[in-house]
Amino acid sequence: MLLKNILPFIGYVLAAESATKTQRTYSQYSPKSSEIAEAAATAHTSHETSDVEGAFFKRLVVIWLENTDFDKAAESEGLSYLAQYGITLDNYWALTHPSEPNYIAAVGGDYFALNDDRFITLPSNVSTIVDLLDSKSISWGEYQEHQPYTGFQGFNYSNQHTFANDYMRKHNPLISYESVTNNETRLSNIKNFTEFYVDLENETLPQWSFITPNMTNDGHDTTINVAATWTKDFLTPLLNNSYFMDDTLVLVTFDENETYADKNKVFALLLGGVIPDDLKGTIDSTFYDHYSEIATVEANWDLDNLGRHDANANVFSIVADAANVTNDDVDTTYKVNNHTYTGYLQDNSQAFPAPNITLKNKVGNPVLPAIVSVWSSEYEAQLSQGFFTSTTTTVTGNIPDATTTASSNGTASHSNSKSASASASASTSAVSSKSSGGANSVHVVGISAILGFAAALIL
């Protein structure tokens, strides 16, 4: 109890430390039940849809589960059942630890040195996949299980009967970006599961969606068997729904692995109506990571890029083939992805990293012009300070432990094996640390990182 009482103090210290920089919020935002009810009564929910053609799919549905090593996920009854209907990606990697930095990176192209799960906001000039989708009027939305109402920005929302953890802000990728939350139209797309079934019934599902189950169903507070069973039960009727399935690609994956000492490779599975019969039950061993989710969207709809790690990321090969994209062969011998880098969200002396406005993505498209317009001056300033190299998209030395060699170009090949399981990477350390909430193996610098780490452990 004493530890919980110091949380507000931690928030104040961290906020004060960053007073000279763009304002960052490190404290909890926990509205009262009465305030939640009042806000819910007036919250606007969007049901906009669209029908923009893509190279391979018209709709992408992304579902994230929690904190599981590859083997445990692949061997679970629910996911192994689903794997026979899709393509298992057995070389798909998370980016760092713990949860939240992976979520924000999957939509923003970077995790900006975040090393814990605290309450953060990213400045309104930081773009996301939403800016890319909006540039071609492609509808999008999130569905967060047990989020109390559309656009809720609180830190968490518990089960009102059992008080178990339900909705958590750290598992909502877009809610941390002010470019979304400061825009009422965009905020109206951050919905809950009630609205998912409304959109399904009315055939108004968006063309891009991100789905997060609650803390029980995603396996965070339970087990992989609970998460896998939930996923099977959730998806089975949808995979038999012609409206949902037609021209749809579904990605099921995990935010991070459980054993921090191991390589941070996670289970991923592609499903949906666009999967041809001859590829069902097969394995794709191409290197992917969470940035590939953005890169795949860019390739499918011929979009510009964010100027961050999305630009260099591999595209899911089934989409790459349709979009005439050549992926890179990546040597993962020394890749670990269980560290962070020193930067904005943990070190107050660091500037917010500008996007590299000179990048082109896998389909040859440049950085979105609106991003170039906003960031060109800051990019030039950071370039003169040596923050960029020819191969990095943000600050030099981004992920110190993840030495990656990009070799000659080559498209992915699919194994003919009907087995959807594979061995996890060998451990790189004899010490095992679990992803129960703290950033156990993350290198931390400065008082903000230390206090943020303490807050993550307490919460």
pLDDT (tens digit, 9 = 90+) per residue, 415-428?
333 233 222 222 22
Q: How many CB atoms lie within 10 A of CB 237?
A: 10
Q: Extract the tokens encoding 63.
A: 């579902």
Q: Extract the tokens encoding 242.
A: 């012609």
Amino acid at 241: N
286 pLDDT band, cuts 50/70/90, is very high
Distance, CA of 120 to chain centre: 15
> Interhelix angle for 7-17 vs 446-458, to 10°?
150
Tell me what pLDDT residue 53 has. 99
Tell me what pLDDT residue 388 has. 61
Tell me what pLDDT residue 277 has. 98
Tell me what pLDDT residue 29 has. 75
Q: In sequence order, which ranges of 18-98 are alpha helices (DSSP H)?
A: 33-42, 70-75, 77-83
Tell me what pLDDT residue 451 has. 40
Pairing status of strand 208-212 against strand 59-65: parallel
433-449 average pLDDT score: 31
Residue 212 forms beta bridges with which residues? Answer: 144
SS3 358: coil
Tell me what pLDDT residue 28 has. 52
51-68 average pLDDT score: 99
Please tell me the least confidently modeled range out of 66-80, 185-199, 434-448: 434-448
SS3 165: strand
Could you identify the residue written with the tokens 């919250």? Answer: 43
Rounded Cα distance between 127 and 141, Å, is 16
Pairwise pLDDT comparison (105 vs 163), residue with the higher score:
105
Tell me what pLDDT residue 268 has. 99
Instruction: Report which of 271, 260, 155 is spatially closest to residue 211, judged by C-alpha positions.
Output: 271
360-381 average pLDDT score: 97
Cis peptide before 237 (omega within 30 of 0): no
Pairwise pLDDT comparison (228 vs 446), residue with the higher score:
228
Could you identify the residue written with the tokens 């059992």? Answer: 162
Question: What tens digit of pLDDT does each residue of 127-183 get?
Answer: 999 999 999 999 999 999 999 999 999 999 998 888 788 999 999 999 999 999 999
Residue 402 forms beta bridges with which residues? Answer: none
Residue 332 confidence (pLDDT) above 70: yes
Q: Which of left, alpha, beta for 336 (phi over 0: left; psi -120 to 50: alpha)?
A: alpha
- How many Cα atoms are found within 13 Å in the side-chain-facing hemisphere of 114? 28
Rounded Cα distance between 366 and 338, Å, is 30
Could you identify the residue written with the tokens 């999967």? Answer: 275
Residue 407 confidence (pLDDT) above 80: no
> Interhelix angle for 291-300 vs 99-108, to 10°?
20
Residue 21 confidence (pLDDT) above 50: no
The ranges assigned to domains in the chain are: 1-32, 53-431
Tell me what pLDDT residue 338 has. 92
Instruction: Report which of 114, 210, 200, 177 is spatially closest to residue 444, judged by C-alpha positions.
Output: 114
Tell me what pLDDT residue 163 has. 79
387 pLDDT band, cuts 50/70/90, is low
Over the chain, what is the mean pLDDT?
83
What are the backbone dihedrals phi and psi of residue 207, each rounded to the nearest 5 degrees, phi first?
-80, -20
Tell me what pLDDT residue 449 has. 40
Distance, CA of 405 to chain centre: 23
Three-point CA angle 99, 104, 110, nearest 5°: 110
Active site residues: 221
What are the backbone dihedrals phi and psi of residue 159, each rounded to the nearest 5 degrees, phi first?
-60, 125
207-234 average pLDDT score: 98
Q: What is the pTM of this model?
A: 0.81
Residue 395 confidence (pLDDT) above 80: no
Residue 431 confidence (pLDDT) above 70: no
What are the backbone dihedrals phi and psi of residue 181, each rounded to the nearest 5 degrees, phi first?
-70, -25
Out of 3.40.50, 3.10.620, 3.40.720, 1.10.760, the CATH code matching 53-431 is 3.40.720
Rounded Cα distance between 194 and 45, Å, is 11
Rounded Cα distance between 107 and 186, Å, is 14
Instruction: Report which of 331, 294, 285 is spatially closest to residue 315, judged by C-alpha positions.
Output: 294
